[in-house]
Amino acid sequence: MTDNQVRVRFAPSPTGKLHVGGARTAIYNWAYARATGGKFILRIEDTDPTRSTEENTQIIVRALRWLGLDWDEGPEVGGPYGPYKQTERMDTYKAALEKLKAEGKVYPCFCTKEELDAKRKAAEEAGKKYTGYDRTCRNIDPAEAQRRIDAGEPHVWRLKVPLDHAPIEFDDAVYGHMKFPGEVMDDLILVRSDGSPTYNFAVVCDDTNMHITHVIRGDDHLSNTPRQILIYEALGYPVPTFAHLSMILGPDKKKLSKRHGATSVEEFRDQGYLPDTMVNFLALLGWSLDGETTLISREQLCKEFSLDRVTKKDAIFDQTKLDWMNGEYIQRMGAAAWVDYAKPWLVQAGATENDIDERHDWYEKIYPIICERLQRFDEIPAKLGYLFWGPEVHLDPASVKKVLLKANARADEAIQACRKVLADESIEWKCDPLQDACRALCEPMDLKPGKLFQPLRVAVCGNRVSPPLFESIELLPRKDVLARIDETYRRVFTDHEFDA
């Protein structure tokens, strides 16, 4: 390890999917490491056996990979300070506990969870403030304690917090100088009765052993920090720099949760947001480059990110802005990348994977007509389905009524006139010549362009709203276009299917 090199970590607990708040924490850690030439470490905090699963670990790792984050040490890549899963580091916590035992800085506590819960409840009901553990077991005679341990009585190990400890102070890289009164710190549990370390204990051990220099994490840990500092002090370890990040809230200013809709990276991926969008959006939710920049590349982020421009204010997750941003990225991604990324949704629209692979060029021609009217990839089936109908047309009843059956619209005439032009094989099957030839009908027929083209649009695309008409026609085979027109004419004007 190089002296003074920044070492940061993202330490998720695998109890669920990767939440966007966690994702932002990961991005900030990653960007900070990249901006400072430091190391970014991924550590899995799986000490809670009831909620942690290997499957969740994989989900989180996959989500981080999808976002395009890479770590220098951690699962899948290894590193000099492994293992990078807490359940595999039990011996290190045990060693730390032994050290504290030897120095008399911890004591065994035989109070059961039930007793503690009862005391807490009683205090609350009596209207008194609960001030933490009452230190009942702190004064048990050591010999007596040992006898009870030897007898197999369940016990936890608590930190013997120095009585009348001075206020605990530290400088947070985001919040500035922090000061917590020492007397509110109770003797927190370091090791549970099953021998496993608690979060606060494991984090301190790991961050020290992994030589973490900056702990960048959620604001919900701010109040834990003084407790952890107590542990650092007891262990005689150097205290890292802390940087706490504000929370991400839902539109109702409550902690972002399922009832607000999508909350996990995975869900946003499935809705058709690009990784670049997510990184950009999350990066700027609580950090700014200059107040002007709204679109920022990974490269720039990795170059310019700094902790001193992180805001302290909680941020509301605004999916409308995310939609806009994703649209911007779609417009910039280019045809080839678009086709590759759009594959699953194109298949939903009616394409087949084989066809996409074999006729990639054709699919790339869709991009120019759709890229500026797409914000999410999951809009593809609805917006591009008509390209995959073959000779059939799925007529939208409302569009038929508004455009084809509108009184005095002369839609039947318009359709037939356009059909004649489109059937003329002397006209090249290209957007411009076809469009020009159809447009030439306007004057002799005394029809405004809209009156001529909208009926055709419905007949070909099935809907009065669609991507550009003649660009679409060019993408379709002539026989299919004519078949659709014929079908529309028959159903609407001959069979009167939509009259009722």
Partner RNA sequence: GUCCCCAUAGUCUAGAGGUUAGGACGCGGCCCUUUCAAGGCUGAGACUCGAGUUCAAUUCUCGAUGGGGGCACCA
Active site residues: 258
Cβ 358 to RNA, closest distance in Å? Answer: 28
193 vs 348 by CB, closer to RNA: 193
List of residues 6+ apart from 90 with CB closer than 8 A:
195, 196, 197
Q: Does 60 bind RNA (CB under 7 A)?
A: no
Q: Does 299 bind RNA (CB under 7 A)?
A: no
Stretch that binds RNA, among 111-119, 144-152, 265-273, 411-419 (CB under 7 A): 111-119
Stretch that binds RNA, among 261-269, 419-427, 467-475, 489-497 (CB under 7 A): 467-475
Q: Does 79 bind RNA (CB under 7 A)?
A: no
Q: Does 175 bind RNA (CB under 7 A)?
A: yes
Total residues in contact with RNA, by rule CB under 7 A? 82
Q: Does 165 bind RNA (CB under 7 A)?
A: no
Q: Does 290 bind RNA (CB under 7 A)?
A: yes
Stretch that binds RNA, among 2-10, 89-97, 176-184, 477-485 (CB under 7 A): 176-184
Cβ 201 to RNA, closest distance in Å? Answer: 8
Cβ 171 to RNA, closest distance in Å? Answer: 12
19 vs 105 by CB, closer to RNA: 19
Q: Does 125 bind RNA (CB under 7 A)?
A: no
Q: By CB under 7 A, name the one of 94, 99, 165, 192 that touches RNA.
A: 192
| Closest C-alpha among 388, 419, 389, 441 to residue 489 | 419
Q: What x-and-dash track marks residues 427-466 binding RNA by CB under 7 A? A: --------x-------------xx--xx--x------xxx
| Binding residues for RNA restricted to 258-287, rule: CB under 7 A | 284-286
Q: Does 56 bind RNA (CB under 7 A)?
A: no
Q: Does 42 bind RNA (CB under 7 A)?
A: no
37 vs 176 by CB, closer to RNA: 176
3 vs 150 by CB, closer to RNA: 150
The answer to whether the CB of 237 falls within 8 A of the CB of 265 is: no
Q: Does 170 bind RNA (CB under 7 A)?
A: no
Place of tokens 């000061």: 179
Q: Does 468 bind RNA (CB under 7 A)?
A: yes
Stretch that binds RNA, among 34-42, 219-227, 296-304, 418-426 (CB under 7 A): 219-227
Q: What x-and-dash track marks residues 304-343 binding RNA by CB under 7 A? A: -----x-xxxxxx-x-xx--x--x---x------------
Give the chain as a 3 state SS string.
CCCCCCEEEECCCCCCCCEHHHHHHHHHHHHHHHHHCCEEEECECCCCCCCCCHHHHHHHHHHHHHHCCCCCEECCCECCCCCCEHHHCHHHHHHHHHHHHHCCCEEEECCCHHHHHHHHHHHHHCCCCCCCCCCHHHHCCHHHHHHHHHCCCCCEEEECCCCCCCCEEEEECCCEEEEECHHHCCCCEEECCCCCECHHHHHHHHHHHCCCCEEEEEHHHHHHHHHHHHHHHHHCCCCCEEEEECCEECCCCCECCHHHCCCEHHHHHHCCCCHHHHHHHHHCCCECCCCCCCCCCHHHHHHHCCHHHECCCCEECCHHHHHHHHHHHHHHHCHHHHHHHHHHHHHHHCCCHHHHHHCHHHHHCCHHHHHHHCCCHHHHHHHHHHHHCCCCCCCCHHHHHHHHCCCCCCHHHHHHHHHHHHHCCCCCCCHHHHHHHHHCCHHHHCCCHHHHHHHHHHHHHCCCCCCCHHHHHHHCCHHHHHHHHHHHHHHHHHCCCCCC
356 vs 464 by CB, closer to RNA: 464
Stretch that binds RNA, among 30-38, 252-260, 405-413, 485-493 (CB under 7 A): 252-260
Q: Does 152 bind RNA (CB under 7 A)?
A: no
CA distance 253 to 373: 31
Q: By CB under 7 A, name the one of 180, 232, 237, 341 that touches RNA.
A: 180
| Binding residues for RNA restricted to 375-434, rule: CB under 7 A | none
Q: By CB under 7 A, name the one of 222, 342, 437, 441 that touches RNA.
A: 222
Stretch that binds RNA, among 31-39, 62-70, 216-224, 477-485 (CB under 7 A): 216-224
